[in-house]
Chains A and B, each alone.
Chain A
Amino acid sequence: KAGVTQTPRYLIKTRGQQVTLSCSPISGHRSVSWYQQTPGQGLQFLFEYFSETQRNKGNFPGRFSGRQFSNSRSEMNVSTLELGDSALYLCASSLELQGRLANEKLFFGSGTQLSVL
């Protein structure tokens, strides 16, 4: 079974541009979450999608947005890029076959390393 796939692996953009990152969850997984990882702030939750609806949102500006498609694939978009947006963006999926169980594992992809120049 294929794991969580994130594309592209690396991305270089300049300030003011926008970027779209893609995430394909494990087959059958219905929840997709996005995290930003930086050396200074660590891992921070961006948002979560379930059945094409945003279910949860972290404390990030509106420049960060996402969506989920009917096949559970997800994209996140960052508009008007800032230098501080340089980070590893991780996507995680979970099965949720029996609802939101406390012990539901998140399965992560290898991330997209975004560099903003």
Chain B
Amino acid sequence: AQKITQTQPGMFVQEKEAVTLDCTYDTSDQSYGLFWYKQPSSGEMIFLIYQGSYDEQNATEGRYSLNFQKARKSANLVISASQLGDSAMYFCAMREGGIYNQGGKLIFGQGTELSVKP
């Protein structure tokens, strides 16, 4: 069973508008971490934001925020005030386990390609 599901293969957004990228996950662990990464055409994966399963508040990092709904097992990324440079692939990822977590092993979704229109 797929553990990270990103249902939007591609999305368009107008420059300066906000956009939400969806991510749902599946795990039986009580302790886990959720990440969002951006991959521009250069190939490098760039860390955007992190949410821990026990974090009570939604994570925010500048223009990025994470809409974390634990009961629904969703961790949607919200990008406010989109910029042309935001055009890229976006990946949701999960690290399972708490103190005995999986270290460098992240489980990735299939990604969403975001295009920002001027």
Q: Which A residues are closer than 8 A to B by beta carbons?
A: 3, 31-33, 42-45, 48, 50, 55-56, 58, 88, 90, 92, 94, 96, 99-111, 113
Contacts and interface: CB of A to CB of B under 8 A. Distances in A.
Given A43-B91, A90-B43, 14 more contacts: A3-B44, A42-B108, A48-B104, A50-B104, A56-B105, A90-B45, A92-B45, A100-B100, A102-B31, A102-B32, A104-B103, A106-B104, A106-B106, A111-B44
Overall SS of chain B's interface: loop
B106 A45 contact: yes
B74 interface: no
B110 A108 contact: no
Contacts of B108: 42-44
B47 A110 contact: no
**Which of B45, B93, B95, B107 counts the most chain A CB atoms within 10 A?**
B45
A42 B47 contact: no
Contacts of B111: 42
Interface residues of B, number: 32
B104 A33 contact: yes
A100 B99 contact: yes
A108 B45 CA distance: 5
